[in-house]
Amino acid sequence: MANMNVDPLLEAFLYESNSLLEKAELILVDCEARRQFDDEAINEIFRVMHTIKGSSAMMEYGMLSKTAHKVEDLFYFIRDKDPEIDFLRLSDIVLAVLDTMKAEIHRIEDGEEASMEASDTVEQIEEYLRELQSSEAGAPADLAAAAASKNNSPKLSASADVNSNDAEPVFSNTPAQVSHARGIPDTEDSVAENALDYDYQVWMNFDENCQMENLRAFTAVTRLEEVARILNQEPADLDADEIATPFVHDHGFTVWLDTRMAPNELAQYLESNVIYIKNIEIFEPVERAVVVDLEPEEQAPARKLTAAERDLMPEEDLDEKAKKILAGADAVKAADTSATDQKVAGTRSLAKQNFISVNVSKLDTLMNMVGELVISEMMVINHPEIAKFTENIKGFEKATNQLKKITSELQDIVMSIRMVPIAGTFQSMQRLVRDMSRKLDKQVILKIIGEETEVDKNVIDSISDPLMHLIRNSLDHGLENAEDRVQAGKPEVGTIFLEARTEGGDVWLTVRDDGRGMNRENIIAKARTNGLIEGDGKDLSDREVWSFVLKPGFSTKEEVTEYSGRGVGMDVVTKNLEKIGGKLTIDSAPGEGTAFQIKIPLTLAIIDGMEITVSDKRYTIPITLIREAFRVRDEKLIVDSDGNELIMIRGKSHEIIRLHKTFDIKAAVTDLKAGILLVVEHESRSVCVFADQLVGEHQVVVKPVPIYLGHIEGVTGCTILGDGTISLILDINGLVERQRSREGGL
């Protein structure tokens, strides 16, 4: 809601820049882990920076565009010259720069004044680039090329000599000549030309009121670069928006390229990947092989018209030339291109915009409305007055079935909208692990399992911090340094597993390390000094001991480091999990490692539930968990020495959980034979839940228990029944836990 008044352009810019920076960061961390920067990664970072540079320049955020420019320079050089890279240093420098850019975006998000100056960190980049360049220049054969590349690089050439009065090459699109301008060596070019099948001139224009034409064109270039080799473009400098924008608006945008795609494929590709495209025309170029023998140094400025030149160039002149090209190309314009045109017109409306971003609060409202709809549907269908008509209501039943079908589809869709894969959150932990392992001088691999698991948007927002603290904890406390690991007979490189899975509607997240495990004695000693326990704590179970580390201010670490030791982190974890009703359990084995397991209950969902009663209370159990329900006849009952009741079903013993006992409900059925037993799954075994009676199966809308009530063991949520009363949804694992602790208490 706070963003209501934010300019949609700005919002889009912030969103896009954030995700691009994240992308770049991931690539860097990934490359560093693999200890190599492959071409694709370098190209990708280059593209990311180029996009940010362009869009932030347009939004007039000087710092961002200048900084991105520098990074782009660096990667341009790396891409072009392929120098020896000290990848550690490179990723250090670039990550630091990315951080400053992120910080700047945050400032903009917070509505603060954007800085116009490039960040200080770019000096490091410049220095590194200089070093690379000088080492490159050291190799005599490459000397000239390096100089050429410097001139050719789009950014640097803008300041190069302007006095080239030959604007013609802009439009004479010979592959050989233009490839010079792009800084691609001739040898490679000739090979490439043989390999690529088509050689086109693509002209496009954009919707009248799409705005930012230069950016649209830039998107097109970026997209095309994925499938084609760009030879030239007009206007060449899309960054100069005060010139490029009106030009593209008035005259469209032209690209010369090499690709394997057929013309219609290409048109379709553009249609579906670039928004706001109005028309596309694809020509095979008229002059294919005019070799213009110019020195690269002279060409660069010609290709890159400077702002000054463009201002001097009369509009008509450009117009004239564009027309000439079009006229020339008309002859070549084959039947297939006109076919393409038709196709293009047909598919345009489909392909334009596939994604929209929606305010989550709107989805919340929608979700609630659908929930209400389901409840009212139940109320209508089960209305007592309808029950009076006993005969001949087939028509009504048919109609209600149709209604049920529609509402259930509607539910599925609404819920799927809110579900987001956890991958993004997981991936962002790579950076944390990378930074920490460098600082702590430990070698660590983060293994991610189940990143495709989808969870509700609310959950995503609340788990990022807890996960971060848990991973920090594992890295700092859990994992040993390399020497200790080798001594303990473990691989030198430590591993942290980050896992997500769903089970019975709950989401389970695990952070597990193969480190030294927790030390029971240390924790007990610390708990004693903190006054949490008295005595030697011998009677405490392991889990009880581990749970001390979750207490505020509890840290066994002697010194406070940058990452931990203040005993704050784990406190944050519990606080955050409380908000979403999550639960943390810790398992640890000395020498083998520690596992933190978070269970997050169903937050928002519509499930099939079985409604049961105990006395006048109503409970719901998710149908998926129920194996069977039966009345006790002559099955064998066993009571063990601790007072646990067991029942034999088909030769297997099942523990009985009496709901009236677990929840301390008076006036309930206590005779096993008078009530009903439900066999429900619990982890890999199954247990029997004893209730008074079954009411029936319903679709229920899961609502969280109010946060104010805190975590209630054995209850995962609640739901509103058709008559408006509330039923608690049972959590079987919690019930078992309750049973255990009750026994412990007895």
Q: Of the two residues 298 and 465, which places its CB atom closer to other proteins in the complex? A: 465
Hey, how many other C-beta atoms are within 10 angstroms of the C-beta on 467?
A: 23
- Of 371, 567, 581, 593, the one binding other proteins (CB under 8 A) is 371
Interface with other proteins in residues 400-459 (CB under 8 A) = none
Query: How long, in residues, is the chain?
Result: 746
Interface with other proteins in residues 641-700 (CB under 8 A) = 662-664
Binding flag, residue 703, other proteins (CB under 8 A): yes
Q: Of the two residues 376 and 522, which places its CB atom closer to other proteins in the complex? A: 376
CB of 666 to other proteins, least distance (A): 11
Angle at CA 409, nearest 5°, toward 404 and 415?
125
CB of 315 to other proteins, least distance (A): 46
- Of 705, 729, 732, 736, the one binding other proteins (CB under 8 A) is 705
Cα 503 to Cα 294: distance, rounded to the nearest angstrom: 67
Q: Which range in 78-86, 478-486, 640-648, 715-723 contacts other proteins by CB under 8 A? A: 715-723
Q: Of the two residues 624 and 725, which places its CB atom closer to other proteins in the complex? A: 725
Closest CA to 677 of 661, 693, 664: 693
Q: How far apart are the first and last CA of the chain?
A: 51
Q: Of the two residues 270 and 705, which places its CB atom closer to other proteins in the complex? A: 705
Q: Of the two residues 220 and 689, which places its CB atom closer to other proteins in the complex? A: 689
- In order of 99, 253, 379, the CA distances from 66 in angstroms are 15, 25, 62
Cα 232 to Cα 169: distance, rounded to the nearest angstrom: 10
Beta strands in 147-268 (DSSP E): 198-206, 228-234, 253-259
- Of 165, 710, 745, 746, the one binding other proteins (CB under 8 A) is 710
Which tokens sit at 269?
């590709």
> What one-character DSSP code corresponds to residue 3?
G
Binding flag, residue 707, other proteins (CB under 8 A): yes
Interface with other proteins in residues 277-296 (CB under 8 A) = none
Hey, how many other C-beta atoms are within 10 angstroms of the C-beta on 174?
A: 20
CB of 618 closer than 8 Å to CB of 611 = yes
Q: Which range in 84-92, 325-333, 672-680, 711-719 contacts other proteins by CB under 8 A? A: 711-719
- Of 300, 625, 718, 732, the one binding other proteins (CB under 8 A) is 718
Q: Of the two residues 88 and 369, which places its CB atom closer to other proteins in the complex? A: 369
Closest CA to 27 of 84, 80, 75, 77: 75
Q: Of the two residues 152 and 662, which places its CB atom closer to other proteins in the complex? A: 662
CB of 708 to other proteins, least distance (A): 5
For residue 477, the one-letter residue type is H
Q: Which residue has the tokens 């109005």?
A: 278
CB of 376 to other proteins, least distance (A): 10
48 contacts: CB under 8 Å, gap ≥ 6: 20, 21, 23, 24
Q: Of the two residues 71 and 729, which places its CB atom closer to other proteins in the complex? A: 729
Hey, how many other C-beta atoms are within 10 angstroms of the C-beta on 283?
A: 22
- Of 489, 708, 745, 746, the one binding other proteins (CB under 8 A) is 708
Site string for other proteins, 599-638 (x = CB under 8 A): ------------------x---------------------
SS3 category, 268: helix
Q: Which range in 110-118, 146-154, 243-251, 717-725 contacts other proteins by CB under 8 A? A: 717-725
Q: Of the two residues 183 and 722, which places its CB atom closer to other proteins in the complex? A: 722
369 contacts: CB under 8 Å, gap ≥ 6: none
Q: Give the β-pairing of 715-720 and 726-730.
A: antiparallel
Q: Of the two residues 696 and 724, which places its CB atom closer to other proteins in the complex? A: 724
Q: Of the two residues 34 and 579, which places its CB atom closer to other proteins in the complex? A: 579
Cα 410 to Cα 359: distance, rounded to the nearest angstrom: 19
Site string for other proteins, 330-369 (x = CB under 8 A): -------------------------------x---x--x-
Interface with other proteins in residues 563-602 (CB under 8 A) = 575, 579
Q: Where are the alpha helices (DSSP H) in 352-497?
A: 360-381, 384-388, 394-418, 423-440, 457-473, 482-487
Q: Of the two residues 365 and 402, which places its CB atom closer to other proteins in the complex? A: 365
- Of 102, 351, 720, 742, the one binding other proteins (CB under 8 A) is 720
Instruction: Supply the DSSP string of 25-92, one letter for each residue.
Output: HHHHHHHHHHT---HHHHHHHHHHHHHHHHHHHHTT-HHHHHHHHHHHHHHHHHHHH-----HHHHHH
Q: Count Cβ atoms within 10 A of the Cβ of residue 267 and give its class: 0-12 exposed, 13-18 middle, 19 or more buried.
A: buried
Number of residues that bind other proteins (CB under 8 A): 32
CB of 462 to other proteins, least distance (A): 12
Q: Of the two residues 300 and 577, which places its CB atom closer to other proteins in the complex? A: 577
CB of 726 to other proteins, least distance (A): 4
CB of 709 to other proteins, least distance (A): 6
Binding flag, residue 53, other proteins (CB under 8 A): no
Instruction: For residue 115, report the phi and psi dihedrals to the nearest 5 degrees.
Output: -80, 150
The overall longest dimension of the chain from CA atoms, in Å, is: 103
157 contacts: CB under 8 Å, gap ≥ 6: 151, 300, 301, 303, 304
Site string for other proteins, 186-225 (x = CB under 8 A): ----------------------------------------
Q: Of the two residues 245 and 662, which places its CB atom closer to other proteins in the complex? A: 662
Q: Count Cβ atoms within 10 A of the Cβ of residue 84 and give its class: 0-12 exposed, 13-18 middle, 19 or more buried.
A: exposed
- Of 603, 727, 733, 739, the one binding other proteins (CB under 8 A) is 727
- In order of 20, 120, 158, the CA distances from 155 in angstroms are 21, 20, 6
- Of 725, 740, 743, 744, the one binding other proteins (CB under 8 A) is 725
Which positions lie near other proteins, rule CB under 8 A?
A: 1, 4, 361, 365, 368, 371-372, 375, 575, 579, 617, 662-664, 703, 705-710, 712-715, 718, 720, 724-728
